[in-house]
Amino acid sequence: MHSLLALFPASLLAALPLACGGGDPAPSSTQESRAPAAAADSGGAQNLASGLAPGAQGQGRQQAQGAGGLEQAAAQALDSLQESAGGDAGSKQRRNQGQKAQQEAQAAADQVAGRAEEVLQEATGGRQDPPQQEPAAPEVELEYKPVTLDFAPEGTVKDANLDNFVVEMEVAVDGTSIGSMVFQFWPEKAPVTVRNFLRHCQEGFYNGLGFHRIMPGFMIQGGDPKGDGTGQGKYGRIKGEFSTDAKYSHVYGVISMARSQAPNSASCQFFICNASSPSTKNLDGGYASFGQLIWGKPVLDQISKVPVVDNGSGREVSKPTKKVTIARADVYRKKAWQAEEERRKAKRQQEEAPKEQPAPQPQPKPAPEPQAQEDPQ
């Protein structure tokens, strides 16, 4: 490279941005790999070849000689540039010749660099180190506890994320817990209804309220702060999100909103179907189903078996003779609840598995009784 630079006048060196230096301040990875090859003279190309695999050194020397020939051509082009510098400093011909010589020199350098890369590829068999992958961040385990999020319409939880939550509802009969029911929801069908229910649950609205209407073969109804079917929730009435789609039909375990005769009169009261029958099917298109039971079927069945009497209207036997209460209705993240249920399931299986009996120990054989001997005659 020094031999090439010596051919230039000092006044032109500053104006000639060779590829081997003085170019872009932040070259790409390709430019960086080529710059040393462009700067190498014939001896440098031989050094490059000597650094390759031992089996490729001979080939590298031959390619280095070829590279020397290319550099000689580049030197001749630079000589023409030096000769053109002797004329008028402002002549257009000198500028054109200088630009042409610079382009020829760059092309020659690129050929040297490209051939050097070919030698390297041939020597290494085209092998490339695989890209290093950063280790994946460990998945954070969600803590199993009720959430404290804002489910208001203007809150932090968007409609698209309402499906990420479940409600666990613990029920007591005459003050004794009979277990919990867990519900998942259909925000794609009834986002307003799902949000309204989650909001009341998360704020503890249902805690302590009861199921005031129980009808075996049909449904159980609860969530009324007055306990007689006339109470309203904290946030007024909501839009009736009805559907006749079979996917959201009123079948066993489906939770839906109770209402009056007005279509958009639902507020806080809900009912859970305890059967799949023509009576429940008739509710489709007129009541807003918004989720389904995914755990706790025995609890629903036990509530449905609580004895009932006439509700005072003389037309319906649905008033429970025992106090059926919602002890709590908590909102959990669905993944956290699923993980907790898996742990509970594994624990139940471990407790129910028959315990191994210790192997019986071999009993020692009794010693033979001594035989009576006859007296000698």
Residue 375 counted as domain residue: no
| Domain carrying residue 95 | 2-124
Same domain? 119 vs 194:
no
Number of domains in the chain: 2
332 neighbors 170 (Cβ within 8 angstroms): no
Residue 153 counted as domain residue: no
Residue 182 counted as domain residue: yes
Residue 231 counted as domain residue: yes
Same domain? 180 vs 321:
yes
Same domain? 330 vs 222:
yes
Residue 352 counted as domain residue: no
CATH number at residue 231: 2.40.100.10
Of 85, 100, 65, 75, the C-alpha closest to 9 is 85
| Residue partners of 190: CB distance under 8 A and separation at least 6 | 241, 243, 288, 289, 290
Same domain? 109 vs 222:
no
Same domain? 184 vs 283:
yes
Same domain? 113 vs 222:
no
pLDDT score at 111: 75
In the chain, DSSP assigns E strands to 165-173, 176-185, 211-215, 219-222, 254-257, 270-273, 289-295, 308-310, 317-320, 324-333
Same domain? 178 vs 324:
yes
| Residue partners of 70: CB distance under 8 A and separation at least 6 | 108, 111, 112, 115
Same domain? 114 vs 166:
no
Residue 369 counted as domain residue: no
Q: What CA–CA distance (Å, rounded) separates 31 from 44? A: 18
At residue 17, what is the residue type? P
pLDDT score at 183: 98
Same domain? 166 vs 29:
no
Same domain? 243 vs 288:
yes
Residue 136 counted as domain residue: no
Indicate the angle between helix axes 92-124 and 42-50, nearest 10 degrees.
20
Q: Is 175 left (phi over 0), alpha (psi -120 to 50) or beta?
A: left
Q: What CA–CA distance (Å, rounded) separates 167 from 333? A: 9
Same domain? 168 vs 310:
yes
Residue 372 counted as domain residue: no
Per-position pLDDT tens, the chain of length 377? 444 444 444 444 444 443 333 333 333 433 333 333 333 333 443 443 344 344 444 444 454 454 455 455 555 655 555 555 454 445 566 667 767 777 777 777 677 667 766 656 665 565 555 555 545 444 444 688 999 999 999 999 999 999 999 999 999 999 999 999 999 999 999 999 999 999 999 999 999 999 999 999 999 999 999 999 999 999 999 999 999 999 999 999 999 999 999 999 999 999 999 999 999 999 999 999 999 999 999 999 999 999 999 999 999 999 999 999 999 999 999 999 999 999 999 998 888 888 777 777 777 766 666 555 555 55
pLDDT score at 269: 98
288 neighbors 266 (Cβ within 8 angstroms): yes
Is the pTM for the entire model greater than 0.75? no
pLDDT score at 122: 62
Same domain? 105 vs 176:
no
